[in-house]
Amino acid sequence: MSLLEIENVTLRFGGLVAVDNVSLHVETGEVFALVGPNGAGKSTIFNLISRFYDPAEGKIRFDGNDLLTQSADQVPGFGIARTFQNIELFEQATVLQNLLVGRHRHRTTGVLSDVLFSRKAYREELRHREAVEQVIEFLDLQAYRDKMIGGLPYGVRKVVELGRALASEPKLLLLDEPASGLSVEETQDMAFWIEDIQKQMGISVMMVEHDMGLVSAVSNRVMALSDGKELATGTSADVQSHPAVIEAYLGTGEISKTGTSRA
């Protein structure tokens, strides 16, 4: 059984079919990449898994559980963590506090024991801090741990968001364009981290990415989407040489057909 199974999922926004009968599965321990032109429905699939959208048809199962019966805030409890395309950090909090929010799914204390700062709350707080410090160590964020997000450069924010997702100790990590806006060096760091996340931490990764260099370097399998439909799935090289993928990115080469080639 796969870790994540998406079966024949369709999502419509009015007349627009954003995701059209897509099926995919992510195996435990693999890096699975979604590629495709803008508006292909890649991030939409992430939002479906996060339960921000309700699919019109289809099934989404994670680790044997039906995700469609769960609400968005219950999804992380199963071990799914995500980042966002346009960085959604808690701006007026420090890096440390942001990462600690990532630990939310592991909290066991109630409001009362928090307000009174009971022994239990204290011990749990120590555990959270320890887990977060490991993430800070892993991502080299020591220099920024007490800095406010509002004052951090873009590249660092991207890493903090990855850290926040990692702090929740997920089984599956959804990375929405982890390398967008990053410099060449930062993208390389990101590639090493994704590899370490997969191999050392044993976390499965599903990512949306436009940087084919990064995709080829880290992913085991790649799925190409266009207009909400699956074009091809396979290794990075297979997908990149697939005729349908080339057509989606570059067109058919026949000018008279460009307007209708997708129909």
- Least separation in angstroms between residue 218's CB and another protein is 22
For residue 105, state whether it binds another protein (rule: CB under 8 A): yes
Check binding of 54 to another protein (CB under 8 A). Answer: no
Using CB under 8 A as the binding rule, whether residue 107 contacts another protein is answered as yes
Q: What is the spatial order of strands in the sheet that 80-82 belongs to? A: 80-82, 172-176, 204-208, 31-35, 221-226, 229-234
Q: Does position 89 bind another protein by CB under 8 A?
A: yes
Token pair listed for 106: 């592991």
Dihedral-angle region of residue 117 (phi above 0 means left; psi in -120 to 50 means alpha; beta otherwise):
left
| Contact call for residue 229 and another protein (CB under 8 A) | no
* 244 is an interface residue for another protein by CB under 8 A: no
The residue range among 53-61, 93-101, 184-192, 251-259 that interacts with another protein, by the rule CB under 8 A, is: 93-101
**Which CB, 150 or 251, lies closer to another protein?**
150
The stretch near another protein (CB under 8 A) out of 4-12, 29-37, 80-88, 212-220 is 80-88
Question: Applying CB under 8 A, which part among 19-27, 110-118, 211-219, 254-262 lies near another protein?
Answer: 110-118
Closest separation in Å from C-beta 225 to another protein: 22
For the four alpha carbons of 235, 238, 244 and 250, in that order, the dihedral sign comes to positive
Asked whether 90 and 200 are in contact (CB, 8 A), the reply is: no
Q: Taking CB under 8 A as the rule, which mask of x and - marks residues 121-150 in contact with another protein?
A: xx-xxx-xxx--x----------------x
CB of 188 to another protein, least distance (A): 26
CA distances (Å), 24 to each of 8, 37, 210, 232, in order?
Answer: 8, 18, 19, 11
- The distance between the two most distant Cα atoms of the chain, rounded to a whole number of Å, is 73
Contact by Cβ (8 Å): 262, 255 = no
